[in-house]
Structure 1
Amino acid sequence: MSTRFRPLRHLLLLAFTLALVGPTELQAQDRQRWTPEQANAWYDDLPWLVGCNYNPSTAINQLEMWQADTFDPETIDRELAWAEDLGFTSIRVYLHHLLWEQDADGFLGRLDQFLTIADRHGIGVMFVLFDSVWDPHPKLGPQRDPEPGVHNSGWVQSPGADDLMNPDREDLLKAYTVGVISRFKDDPRVHAWDLWNEPDNTNDNSYGRNKLDREPEGKRERTLELLERSFTWARSANPSQPLTSGVWIGQWSDPDRLSPTERVQLDQSDVITFHTYDPLDRARQCVENLRRYGRPLLCTEFMARPNGSTFDPVLGFFKDQDVGAYCWGFVAGRSNTIYPWDSWQTPYASEPPVWFHDIFHPDGTPYRPEEVSYIQRLTSQAD
């Protein structure tokens, strides 16, 4: 099914709502959390959402991907053609609030250009607005080069530590959230809005090793406050696409043992998203435990080969269970995600014996041709 197709059930629901309350009254109200029925109707009208977390191979992080001087539509077009050839229907892509502050109109224009490229390849987009992982001190302008042999050495948080802990910057975070979503709130090229990636991640094995200097005290508590507000801000834009934030630690078997952050994520999300970098048995537990919410499930991060999280059989399981699936990484490049997480403790002097993430070399050659064939078989059989 083309990503240009606006889900029929959602259009009917919107028309029915307008008939009941009128457009003026509707605009004055923040959209409420979708019911499970609304969420499942949205999901039923889409193809199987399968794809990757996409960052072009020429960008070390979100800032380098989107800033005017380094935005690279030629590489994006070439690499998304490879995604189309795999049968991918959706990609998850990170944004950054400093790009909005730097040049909101230019940033929105580049987002629109990116969506046009993706749509030309039959691919929809899930945008991620905030992220608590990796470097807590982002800076606009030219980005540093990757640290040799170190996983994701230049990825940056949004908001970084200074903006996160400064109440005076909250208006910027709100304006960014409302502004970006409002611009694309009825755009069928946008599949979903992932409001905050791993909000309670304190980067204990990387920047968190020296928390006094790198990660601010009270980060989790402050992030929880802003996570809750981000759902309110996003709903005030009345998006036609679902909102979500994905749980990422454990398998969530006992609802009474959820953390405060997990409760907000699961109680506020229109569709349930989660991460798992574990083998099939644990991925199966995640799915079984999250079924209790009665909403569509999307695994927005998986696939770490040395951990046992591999396309075969994990992606096949997700397809059988009608669970959306986005692997981490796509084309090896400046993000250095072919290296494992432990490279933060011991950088690799050469290419690792098994790639951690990513599917293609920069020239489009598959890392493992048998993986590409497996993915293509699954996507060719999708409804």
Structure 2
Amino acid sequence: MKRLFVFILLFSATLSLAQQSEPGRWSAAKANAWYAKQPFLVGSNYIPANAINELEMFQAASFDPATIDKELALAEGLGMNTMRVFLHDLLWKDSAGFTKRLDQFLGLCARHKIKPMLVLFDSCWDPHPKLGKQRAPQPGIHNSGWLQSPGADALADPAQYKRLEAYVKGVVGAFKNDNRILAWDMWNEPDNGNDNSYGQNHLKTELPKDQKIALATKLLPQVFQWARAAGATQPLTSAPWIFNGTHDWSNPAKWTAMEKVQFENSDIITFHQYSTTQDLEKIIPILQKMGRPVICTEYMARGVNSKFQTHLPIAKKAKVGMINWGFVAGKTQTFLPWDSWQKPYVNGREPAVWFHEVFKQNGTPVDPAETAAIKQATGK
């Protein structure tokens, strides 16, 4: 009887582990072997200063290799070796042209010794993307023209999922063996309800939050499957991002349905952390207990005490890659804080402390002490 009880326990544990191993997911050993070959990863979430969103960055009429080359040279000068770069499903309408421009972008990255992480989808900001000329920034507002991918209409319409599948398989398949790419990020903040922008404020153009999260939670596992079916040789990931008292990442029983999808499908563990050094030191060991490489794909917001000087040394000691939000100030206006949606910085008003960005638009550092800290971390 005792042997039978032990067998049942062992079988249950094995079954649990099997259930956590999604089809095609890298083993922890493979992920760690990949990570062992990487340098200390440091970079930014990157968009050129003259682009307001993903479409303006990559559409034929506004793609600007000269500006990208100039700005990536600044990154190389700091010793940055990666960038997180957002794509968009609507770009696949011109699949040949987009593939050519993305290849050109990757060539510019390689010239500057940078291997980007490419993001396929994003649940943040404007839920109604459209191809063509993009609108001008709204004065005084943080990220006033950034676009969701897929937009609300496509997310709520299963008839469009075949188009989304074609995009994922097409772009991943085109670059599946390209060693200029560090990794693929399947979906940025998929359960972000845009509460402070298009969700709860006067715009109210967002899907109902519960509906949006339910749809994204059901679609994200398919996105992982599509990328794997396309033959990606680079690791896949999607980052949990809500770190507070109600989201306990140390206990799988307390993961949300979305966090469960993200943690159990990701080859490498990524996360976002706009908070203090104490919170960073708390979360790193929790994530590292999952036995896989850990990379922070968003941090550095001066107004909430997330900074280069404080966070990079902690991460480097723990061998956790760090990718901050913002590089050169420009049309995204992410030097303004999130609450600028409620209190726009107009009539000459600017925040006393810039929220994001490493460089001003003229190419000078926002704070020379910060660029010195980045160089110290990268050994430049």
Q: TM-score, normalization: structure 2?
A: 0.90
Aligned residue type for 1:172: R
Please list every run of 5 or more consecutive structure 1 residues that lacks an aligned counterpart in the other structure: 1-29
Task: Confirm or deny that 1:365 pairs with 2:364.
Answer: yes
Once the two structures are superposed, the pairs formed by residues 218-367 of structure 1 within 5 Å of their partners are 218-250=211-243, 252-349=249-346, 350-367=349-366
- The answer to whether the 8 Å contact 2:199/2:207 transfers is no
Q: Does 1:192 align with 2:192?
A: no
Secondary structure of the structure 2 residue equivalent to 1:371: helix
Q: Note if contact 1:31-1:239 (Cα within 8 Å) is conserved in structure 2.
A: no
TM-score by length of 1: 0.90
Give 1:64's aligned amino acid: E
Specify which of 111, 118, 122 is matched with residue 109 of structure 2: 118
Measure the CA separation in 2 of the matches of 1:351 and 1:113. 36
User: Partner of 1:4 in structure 2?
Assistant: none
Contact 2:197 2:203 in 1 (8 A): no
Q: Deviations over 1:126-166 (max 9, x none)?
A: 00000000000011111111111110000010000001111
Alpha-carbon distance in 2 for matches of 1:284, 1:211: 38
Give matches, 1:1-383, under 5 Å: 32-101=24-93, 103-209=94-200, 213-217=204-208, 218-250=211-243, 252-349=249-346, 350-380=349-379
Cα offset, 1:48, TM superposition:
1.4
- Equivalent position SS for 1:175: helix
Secondary structure class of the residue paired with 1:93 = strand
**Equivalents in 1 of 2:200, 2:30: separation in Å?**
43
**AA paired with 1:275?**
H
Q: Could you give the per-residue CA deviations for residues 206-255 of structure 1, whole angstroms, max 9, x where no partner exists?
A: 10115994112311111111101101111101211000000000162322
Whole-Å separation in 1 of the counterparts to 2:304 and 2:111: 35
Q: d(CA) in 2 for partners of 1:351 and 1:108?
A: 39
- 1:76-115, CA deviations, whole angstroms, 9 ceiling, x for partnerless residues? 00000000000001000000000102x0000000000000
1:122 maps to a residue whose letter is: K
Does the residue aligned with 1:33 lie in a helix, a strand or coil? coil
Corresponding pairs, count:
351
CA shift for structure 1 position 351: 2.3
Which region of structure 1 is more displaced relative to structure 2, 345-354 or 123-132? 345-354
Task: Give secondary structure in 2 for the equivalent of 1:376.
Answer: helix
Instruction: Give the ranges of 4+ consecutive aligned residues of structure 1 lying more than 4 Å apart after TM superposition.
Output: 210-213
What's the % identity of the aligned pairs?
Answer: 53
Q: Give the unaligned 5+ runs of structure 2.
A: 1-21
* Structure 1: distance between partners of 2:212 and 2:125: 13
Aligned-partner Cα distance in 1 for 2:30–2:292: 9
What secondary structure, in the 3-state scheme, does the structure 1 residue paired with 2:182 have?
strand
1:180-217 CA distance string (max 9 Å, x none): 00111110100000000000000001101159941123
